[in-house]
Structure 1
Amino acid sequence: MAARIILNPTAGNGKAQKLFELIQAHLPNDVEVVRTTGPGHATELARQVADQEDLTVVSLGGDGTHHEVINGLMPEGKTIFAVLPAGTGNDFVRTLGYPKSPRAMLDVALYGAERRIDVGRVNDEYFLTVSGVGFDAEVAGWVNQHEKKGNGTWIFLRGILRHLVHFQAEQMTIHVDGAFRSEPTFLLAAGNSPYYAGGMKICPEADPGDGLFHVVWVKDLSRLGVLPLLTRVFRGTHVQHPQVKTFQTEQLTVEGPPNMLVHADGEIVGHLPVTMTVIPAAIRVRTGRS
């Protein structure tokens, strides 16, 4: 077996199943396809083969599926990891230079160049893109419950508008390199890669190969100030706003109200307090860039 494809047939409201049907005829004989049957199953299927150094594990689904798979492959990190994107946001693949056509994507997933990337960890949960707390985590929780009612960025925008009415900034304390600071906080995002929520460039300087998080800390905002700032997130220019602080670090701890949700790769993974850590060059990935 040269590769195992872990297929989440329900991802992207059926997009994953449709993509699989397009590539099925082109699969080599030494590629095994296994299907998930519910939440957490992709992690189990990945963990079964996590110690096989010559194997490529391909996650066919959305960022939530990729999140489950990477949690099955870590902490060993021995296999090669690849994705076939078919979800709501498809943010992780934006860093890998994958082509658009299904056949070309399959070729990259199975035979593309190898690159080592960092993986983030928030407490005991691993992540590929961004972990955050505050407004974006509350939106992520809502999107996870309602994503069957919309696709891509639109479902995230619905969640944003819905939560703007009631969300209040909360006092949070950030610990970095032995120092700490407390501020009323709208959101804090620690990026291993730049994108979340269907193409929002929340951490524009994040690079999954530099061993650091790009942290974006948004202080308290008026409700009238939130939407203009969010429109700038797609270009990454929100970091120029006076209420936004950015820095890079290998590790940070966030404390605050214990009811505050924490997300990683758009999946809710717990509540405050949390410690976020970069694991440098943790796993090999297939990439479309040489």
Structure 2
Amino acid sequence: MRALLVVNPTATTTRPRTREVLVSALSTELDLEVAETTHRGHAIELGTRAAREKFDVIVALGGDGTVNEVVNGLLVDGPSGDLPALGVVPGGSANVFIRALGGPRDPVDATGLLLEALRANRRRTIGLGRVNDRWFIFCAGYGLDAAVVGRVERARSNGKTATPGLYVRSAVAQYFRGPERTMSSIELKLDAPPSDGVDSETEPSGRFAAVIVQNCSPWTYLGPRPVNPCPEASFDAGLDFLAARALRLPSTLRTVQQILSSKPDPRGREIVRRHDLSGFVLRSDTPLAAQVDGDYLGELTELRFAGVPHALRVVV
């Protein structure tokens, strides 16, 4: 079986010696080619190469950002049944995707499970999200959460490690110092009625301060704790979102408590949630921060979302 292993050498939680052991283990059972990323976007190029050179499998060894780039490379020409299947060995700080699939966080355990799945020819086809020209696997955001991602990226570029503590400190700082708390500039338009039969008259009205989009549950993890704004989200359904009309301190604290609960069910006068959507559009006259899978996209005025079923084969 011909495989391309895409390695992010700066991955947060894997050491060079660990990566050598993992490469050796995979090489025993695969016709393996190893490629290390050298710059942002390199994994996209490698994913495209794997698709066009008809590899059987592409394995991403890194964090969720590496996985996202690989997927965007694989799907550069759109979903197809003859694309390489994706395998993941976690090497980041959160590793949301593999955990959402039920896989282990430990890279050695994940490699063993990946080899076992390859021997048994276990595959799963999942739906993905698309926003503008970018694919995403598990989440996207517009407003406050994306601004927090941008703040964390700046901290990492200054040598900080992406820990749960860094995200919490960045979220608190952005909430109190950023402009998002006092703005409600996002307009939301559904492309079609929700597929669960909800009438189109229930389309949200008014403007919103922040929107979180999920393609699976949970949205992310705070260390071991799942963070779950849209607990019904699934790889086997369309997209879900949670939109906040305002970010006043009392209601925001209540929503945070709800999404961190062991039985999350965020609700309230300021909250709108929708499940299993085929698509929707977010617009803001003022450019706002946007992110996909924890990767900061910059400040944008329009995001066009689509849920794409059966888009990717995954080795599980």
TM-score (norm 1): 0.89
1:90 corresponding residue in structure 2: 95
- Are 1:174 and 2:188 an aligned pair? yes
The structure with the larger Rg is 2
Contact 1:171/1:182 (<8 A) preserved: no
What does residue range 154-169 of structure 1 map to in structure 2 within 5 Å? 154-166=165-177, 167=180, 168-169=182-183
Contact 1:122/1:274 (<8 A) preserved: yes
Contact 1:232/1:238 (<8 A) preserved: yes
1:27 corresponding residue in structure 2: 26
Contact 2:90/2:106 (<8 A) preserved: no
Q: Kindly tell me: are residues 195 and 153 of structure 1, through their superposed partners in 2, closer, same or farther at Cα, counting changes over 3 Å?
A: farther
- Are 1:49 and 2:50 an aligned pair? yes
Identity across the alignment (%):
26
2:109 corresponding residue in structure 1: 104
Q: 1:100-153 CA deviation, whole Å, 9 max, x = no partner?
A: 543331133344221000111001000001111011111111112223423332
Q: Distance in 1 between matches of 2:58 and 2:211?
A: 31
1:90 shift after superposition: 1.1
1:91 shift after superposition: 0.9
Contact 1:138/1:261 (<8 A) preserved: yes
Q: Distance in 2 between matches of 1:142 and 1:159?
A: 6
2:70 corresponding residue in structure 1: 69
2:217 corresponding residue in structure 1: 194
TM-score (norm 2): 0.82
- Are 1:128 and 2:137 an aligned pair? yes
1:60 corresponding residue in structure 2: 61
Q: Kindly tell me: are residues 169 and 45 of structure 1, through their superposed partners in 2, closer, same or farther at Cα, counting changes over 3 Å?
A: same
Amino acid at match of 1:279: V
Q: Which secondary structure state, in structure 1, belongs to the residue aligned with residue 33 of structure 2?
A: strand
- Are 1:244 and 2:271 an aligned pair? yes
What does residue range 223-262 of structure 1 map to in structure 2 within 5 Å? 223-235=249-261, 237=264, 239-248=266-275, 249-262=277-290
Q: Kindly tell me: are residues 19 and 207 of structure 1, through their superposed partners in 2, closer, same or farther at Cα, counting changes over 3 Å?
A: farther
- Structure 2, unaligned runs of 5 or more: 194-199
1:93 shift after superposition: 1.1
1:17 shift after superposition: 4.1
Q: 1:41-72 CA deviation, whole Å, 9 max, x = no partner?
A: 01001110114666111111111111111100
- Are 1:81 and 2:86 an aligned pair? yes
Q: Kindly tell me: are residues 186 and 31 of structure 1, through their superposed partners in 2, closer, same or farther at Cα, counting changes over 3 Å?
A: same
1:242 shift after superposition: 3.3
- Structure 1, unaligned runs of 5 or more: none
- Are 1:150 and 2:155 an aligned pair? no
